Amino acid sequence: MNTSTKEKRKIDPVYASFLYQLLRNYLFGSTLAVVGVGGVIVFSTLSIPSNESVAIGALMIISLIIMLVCELFVFYRHLRPIQLLFQGQQPTSDQLKTAYLQTHTFPILSVKRTFGPHFLGIVIPAVSLAFLFIKLGFISIPYFYIGIAVAVCFMIASMHAMIEFFLTTKAIRPLIIHISNQHRERYKEEITLSGKVLVSIRTKFRLSAFLIGALPLLLFGLASQIRLDSSQAGSSLAYWQWAGIILIIGVLYSLLGASLLSRSIEDPIQTIQAGMISVESGNFEESAADVYSDEFSKLIAGFNHMVNGLKEREQRNNQLLQSYFMTLAAALDARDAYTAGHSTRVAHFSVQIARLDGWSEQQIDLLHKTALLHDIGKIGVRDDVLFKEGKLTDEEFDQIKLHPVLGENILKQIEPADAMAALLPGVRSHHERYDGKGYPDGLAGTDIPLFGRAIAIADAFDAMTSDRPYRKGMTYERALSILEDGKGTQWDPKLTTLFIESIHLEKQKVEEEAY
């Protein structure tokens, strides 16, 4: 066998450590639950003659062998999806994802194995052999002891399952990280549970706290019954009338304690989760309520500190972005002293239209940015065409008509692309006409993007009322009259009406204040 073959057959150290941890946890849990608890109960409670001890010992050994065979078979099936990763040189993405999920599920599977092949694998043969041995006279214990033994076994299995669950939860962590790293290195993609809850904190804490509180009571009660029965057979009923009340109170107390304990963990987690959902939606105004006095107080404080940092960064980014738009608009207007401020005024009038129409603040913000850059494409138009004072030729006008498309193409070059995506339709369509005779696409009516329809009105109004080298700007009354005449043909009738009415109201207010 050559060196390369030997290397291939070497077991991965992470996988080897995982198997070692599982074996150690299993032996620890079994020893503590079965030998430590079960053994003490059996041998300290029952008075077993030496000749019957051999029969009971044989019964237990046979049952243990059957249990181990069943449990090893199920364990191998549970382990198989993970084992496959370490047999081949190049696991597929699906294999890694399957192993990742299977590893996460291993603590739950350990509980299922404990109550399946472990508990049933030992109880079924043990009960069968116990009935047989009693009938054959090998052991002389009452038949109802078998029922008590099954109840004790179930409680021991519950204790074993709880220990296995928490120890396995810790043992799987290095393997989960290893599988995740492999997938990221090989396929450049993260694999996570994406928030999927395999077992809730409520379930873990309630069951654990219940077992911790109730099992000692139940074990004591059953052991006391056996002990009492062997010494004072006549007082068994009286004992259980008294013990039953104590046990019920103890169990109810355990359930209450488990519920309160789980709630103390769930509440802060739900608080943080609600805050995370708020942050995910872009809301940095609300902080998580710091009402906890334990370690969760540190977690809440850290979360709020993170949110405040994100809020400050968001505000700074918005300021930088707004400055960026204003700078681009100023750079465009600087090409022509006579149109200086045009983009800013168009943005102002566009926002005015949007507010009158009841748009959301998010829409208004996007419209403002779009309007600031609506003429950015004119950067690509030749100066002799753009600044010509006389009538344009058809070829020159065709050059002018290209600026909406040029503007869209310029903004498409800005990264990240999604930051500009919402602005593109308005930039491209601000010279479309409501009757379909505009450019560049000849769109009509509501097929024209909403931003384009609003900017078209604002753009036309500012163009008509601004001075040019070759003409003086119109009066507001004249420009509004042209807008009125163009409702439904050149401009959106509803938005145009709102804008005209608002300008009239503003003028009336100014006149009243002057009077």
Q: For residue range 172-230, list pLDDT tens digits in order.
A: 888 988 998 888 888 888 888 877 778 777 787 777 777 777 777 676 666 666 666 65
Q: What is the pLDDT of residue 162?
A: 82
Q: Report which of residues 106 and 56 the model is more confident about.
A: 106
What per-residue confidence (pLDDT) applies to 436?
A: 93
Give this prediction's pTM.
Answer: 0.56
Q: Give the integer Cα–Cα distance in Å for 28 and 22.
A: 10
131-186 pLDDT tens trace: 998 888 888 877 877 887 787 788 778 878 888 888 888 888 889 889 988 888 88
- pLDDT beyond 80 at 476: yes
Domain 335-514 sits in which CATH superfamily? Answer: Hypothetical protein af1432 (1.10.3210.10)
Report how far apart, in Å, the C-alpha atoms of 88 and of each of 12, 92, 97, 267 are. Answer: 11, 10, 15, 45
Judged on CB neighbours under 10 Å (0-12, 13-18, 19+), 119 is buried
HSE-up (13 A, CA, CB side) for residue 347: 21
Q: For the chain, what is the mean pLDDT?
A: 80
For position 355, what pLDDT does the model report? 93
Asked if residues 430 and 490 have their Cβ atoms less than 8 Å apart, the reply is no
- Span of 19-28, 282-291, 456-465 with lowest mean pLDDT: 282-291
Measured CA to CA, the distance from residue 261 to residue 294 in angstroms comes to 13
Query: In the structure, what pLDDT confidence band is assigned to residue 301 with cuts at 50, 70 and 90?
Result: confident
| Confidence tier at 8 by pLDDT (50, 70, 90) | very low
Grouping H, G, I as helix, E, B as strand and the rest as coil, residue 468 is: strand
Amino acid at 153: C
Tell me the pLDDT tens digit for each residue of 375-410.
888 888 777 777 777 777 888 888 888 899 998 998
- Domain locations in the chain? 12-191, 335-514
